[in-house]
Amino acid sequence: MIGMTLMYVFLFVSLYFEIFMLVSFIRIKIEQAFEEPREGARNFEPSVAIVVPCFNEAKTVAGTLQSLLALDYPNDKLEIIVVDDGSRDDARGRADI
């Protein structure tokens, strides 16, 4: 009888500790989610490379590239790469903007 009581007490304490740790972890994650970003992180803009595949896209490649060039992103951190792999139309000539 004492062995069963001791086992139940041990299970209760371990389960209580486990739930306490889980609630603490969730509370920390929620606080981090609503935390204001640091000043340096707010202005961070990484370098970006956009790869535009074009195979027989002579009609649309110029418009695509013009819309990419009109992006509101710093030009020194933006790279646009046009890949033409054996098009049978004039996609290569139209991509020269």
How many structural domains is the chain composed of?
2
In this predicted structure, what is the pLDDT of residue 79? 94
In this predicted structure, what is the pLDDT of residue 90? 65
83 and 47, same domain (yes or no):
yes
45 and 71, same domain (yes or no):
yes
pTM: 0.50
Of the candidates 55, 65, 67, the one whose C-alpha atom is nearest the C-alpha of residue 95 is 65
Rounded-to-integer distance, Cα 16 and Cα 9, Å: 10
- What domain range includes position 66? 41-94
87 and 59, same domain (yes or no):
yes
24 and 63, same domain (yes or no):
no
46 and 68, same domain (yes or no):
yes
Residue labelled with tokens 């695509």: 64
In degrees, rounded to 5, the angle at the alpha carbon of residue 18 between the alpha carbons of residues 8 and 9 is 15
73 and 51, same domain (yes or no):
yes
In this predicted structure, what is the pLDDT of residue 66? 92
Which stretches in the chain have pLDDT values below 50?
A: none
